[in-house]
């Protein structure tokens, strides 16, 4: 490849990146505008609402530290979804893999603490236990997909329901802390959790999330395994005819995706919550799905959108108390972030098709 062709390729990539970035920003702006319009129709000043979110979720020291801390498990879930979706596998059971991971970590960490295990070994084993718990819970949908070609959307969602229910049963019966009247696992003291960054209130779980997203992005786009995953996602039949081990790939993708979701649960416990309470389920996974789709499975786009969502969620919690806007309004905003880009892309595709047909028609008429 000559230097000139390399420059053309780089220029094309830059233009494509600029177009995608501009489109994403436009979609976010339209979604926020529609959400603001709904607030205005409800009698709430949208500028005051968004301003409050920015102040409490981004500008206030406690707010931006809370936003960055929340990003840790969310980024791990985003990495989990990137792995599955890039291979064309719909792992929608992230919440069911998150909860076993959280319960495993909440059971292992205090038990190791009472036995005098060094802190870094205890935290590493708790993280590993969470990843294994999530991975084991995600294997059945993969096995059913390989064995009987059963749709993984159905099986992963069913396993998600069962995983959350199993976690609640374990918390209430087997792992309940006898020292409390409220059903919950033993609490992990602050000093025994993941360390804070730079002496502040930002958990080092953020670094784990950043590392996971960047590694997954690099794996998908720059490794042979990532190429096989993308071929599998583009056309499973072609992947099988090309000699790729579709069954082994499916199992590996589900195992890695579920392990990352379980690791997110472990980080949530040993970095933020400290224990698992009965009937607790933050339901992060299905909320992150539209963000990963909006980023088109790109790691850097996922980082940016997860940051925006973290600021929105932290700020909206304060807005729910001060302004009276329900905290669930954030979920409506996320839904708009998924719907608006889809409709916009459809409109652009229809417009391009109409212009192309018009050009062909004019050329035929002139001829």
Task: DSSP for 130-167, please give it.
Answer: HHHHHHHHHHHHHHHHHHH---HHHHHHHHHHHHHHHH
Helix, strand or coil, per DSSP, at residue 181: coil
Quick one: pLDDT band at residue 80, thresholds 50, 70, 90? Answer: very high
Mean pLDDT of 161-166: 92
Q: Which of 208-212, 215-219, 297-301 has the lowest mean pLDDT?
A: 297-301
Burial 260-284 (b: 16+ CB within 10 A, else e): bbbbbbbbbbbbbbbbbeeebbbeb
Cα distance from N-terminal residue to C-terminal residue, the chain: 39
pLDDT at 169: 92
pLDDT at 330: 78
Tokens of 148: 């009987």
Q: How distant is the alpha carbon of residue 325 from its chain centre?
A: 25
Handedness of CA 357, 363, 366, 367 (dihedral sign): negative
Q: Which of 202-216, 226-240, 332-346 has the highest mean pLDDT?
A: 202-216
Q: What topology does CATH give the domain 20-353?
A: ABC transporter involved in vitamin B12 uptake, BtuC (1.10.3470)
Mean pLDDT of 235-255: 91
Quick one: pLDDT band at residue 221, thresholds 50, 70, 90? Answer: very high
The answer for residues whose C-beta is within 8 angstroms of residue 191's C-beta and 6 or more apart is none
pLDDT at 166: 92
pLDDT at 93: 92
Beta pairing partners, 203: 196
Q: Who wins on pLDDT, 215 or 176? A: 215
Summary mean pLDDT of the chain: 87
Secondary structure tally for the chain: helices H, strands E: 13, 2
Quick one: pLDDT band at residue 11, thresholds 50, 70, 90? Answer: low
pLDDT over 90 (residue 32): no
User: How many C-beta atoms surround the C-beta of residue 11 within 10 A?
Assistant: 10
Tokens of 134: 């999530």
Mean pLDDT of 96-108: 94
User: How many C-beta atoms surround the C-beta of residue 5 within 10 A?
Assistant: 9
Q: What are phi and psi of 277, to 5 degrees?
A: -95, 155
Beta pairing partners, 196: 203
pLDDT over 90 (residue 254): yes
Q: What are phi and psi of 297, to 5 degrees?
A: 65, 20
Tell me what percent of the residues of the chain surpass a pLDDT of 70. Answer: 94
Quick one: pLDDT band at residue 5, thresholds 50, 70, 90? Answer: low
The answer for residues whose C-beta is within 8 angstroms of residue 359's C-beta and 6 or more apart is none
Report d(CA 357, CA 108) in Å as an integer.
64
pLDDT at 227: 93
User: How many C-beta atoms surround the C-beta of residue 194 within 10 A?
Assistant: 24
pLDDT at 115: 74
User: What is the DSSP code (8-state) at residue 184?
Assistant: B
Q: What are phi and psi of 109, to 5 degrees?
A: -60, -50
Q: What would the pLDDT profile of 109-124 be if each residue is shown by its tens digit? A: 888 877 777 888 999 9
Q: Who wins on pLDDT, 366 or 158? A: 158
Tokens of 112: 């190791």
Report d(CA 73, CA 261) in Å as an integer.
8
Mean pLDDT of 325-354: 78
Quick one: pLDDT band at residue 10, thresholds 50, 70, 90? Answer: low
pLDDT at 361: 72
Quick one: pLDDT band at residue 171, thresholds 50, 70, 90? Answer: very high
Report d(CA 250, CA 84) in Å as an integer.
9
């Amino acid at each position: 490849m000559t230097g000139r062709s390399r420059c053309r390729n780089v220029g094309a990539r830059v233009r494509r990146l600029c177009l995608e970035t501009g489109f994403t920003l436009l979609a976010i702006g339209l979604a926020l505008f529609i959400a603001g319009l709904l607030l205005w129709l409800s009698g709430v000043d949208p500028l005051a609402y968004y301003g409050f979110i920015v102040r409490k979720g981004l500008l206030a020291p406690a707010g931006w530290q809370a936003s960055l801390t929340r990003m840790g498990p969310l980024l791990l879930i985003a990495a989990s979804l990137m792995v599955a979706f890039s291979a064309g596998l719909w792992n929608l059971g992230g919440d069911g893999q998150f909860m076993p991971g959280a319960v495993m970590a909440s059971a292992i960490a205090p038990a190791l603490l009472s036995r005098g295990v060094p802190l870094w070994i205890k935290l590493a084993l708790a993280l590993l236990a969470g990843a294994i718990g999530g991975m084991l819970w995600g294997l059945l949908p993969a096995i059913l997909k390989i064995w009987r070609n059963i749709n993984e959307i159905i099986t992963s969602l069913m396993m998600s329901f069962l995983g959350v229910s199993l976690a609640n049963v374990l918390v209430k019966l087997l792992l309940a802390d006898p020292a409390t009247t409220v059903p919950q696992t033993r609490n992990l003291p602050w000093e025994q959790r993941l360390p804070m960054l730079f002496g502040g209130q930002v958990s080092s779980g953020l670094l784990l999330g950043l590392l996971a997203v960047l590694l997954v992005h690099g794996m998908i786009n720059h490794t042979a395994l990532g190429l096989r995953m993308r071929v599998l996602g583009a056309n499973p039949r072609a992947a099988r005819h090309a000699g790729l081990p579709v069954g082994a790939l499916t199992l590996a993708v589900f195992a890695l995706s579920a392990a990352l979701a379980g690791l997110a649960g472990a980080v949530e416990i040993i970095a933020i919550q400290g224990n698992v309470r009965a009937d607790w389920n933050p339901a992060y996974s299905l909320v992150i799905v539209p963000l990963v789709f909006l980023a088109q499975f790109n790691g850097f786009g996922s980082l940016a959108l997860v940051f925006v969502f973290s600021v929105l969620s932290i700020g909206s919690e304060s807005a729910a108390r001060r302004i009276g806007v329900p905290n669930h309004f954030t979920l409506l905003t996320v839904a708009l972030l998924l719907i608006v880009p889809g409709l916009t892309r459809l409109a652009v595709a229809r417009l391009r098709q109409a212009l192309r047909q018009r050009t062909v028609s004019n050329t035929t008429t002139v001829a």
